Amino acid sequence: MTVRESTFFGFANPVDPRPEELQAWAYHPEAVPLDAMPSDWDLLIAGDVLAPTLFELAMDRQCPARRFAQHCMYIYAADGVRPNASSQRKRRLKKYVERAEEVGDEPMSIWAHNCRVLMTRPELFDYQDWIEGGLVRHPRRLALFGRR
């Protein structure tokens, strides 16, 4: 039985979900709607522990919660370009970007491009775009030069 065929039975701890719980939920997001999750759930889960799962979900064109996973990857990326981000986080982010560039479809290609722009010009960070989901709701390639 694959994750897609399995039923989602809920989170043992929604504030700190296990990767397999998040993956099962992503294929059955109607089981627990996002508005029923803890406040700022996207910020809580967009860290190193769940990043591999979130990235795989964001890459999966068939995942019902794909846009949410992409949103979380934008949060992960924004956190990964901060001056005080760990070198491990920066290396992981670079690997995700490279993989999205190699095998990602258009939304993930745009994500990778935007990550590269932010890595090069962190001053272009915009809270609404990166943290509040603006780049997922209104996908676009950020310009490296020119106006914000």
Tokens at 32, concatenated: 């627990």
The CA-atom distances, in angstroms, between 126 and each of 108, 131, 142 are 19, 8, 11
Point out the residues of the chain with pLDDT beneath 50: 1-3, 5, 148
pTM, two decimals, is 0.92
- Phi and psi at residue 36, to the nearest 5°: -95, -5
Are 13 and 21 in contact by the 8 Å Cβ rule? The answer is: no
Domain ranges of the chain: 26-137
pLDDT, tens only, 23-44: 999 999 999 888 899 989 999 9
11 contact partners, CB below 8 Å, separation of at least 6 = 17, 21, 25, 32
Residue 129 is predicted with a pLDDT of 98
Are 55 and 21 in contact by the 8 Å Cβ rule? The answer is: no
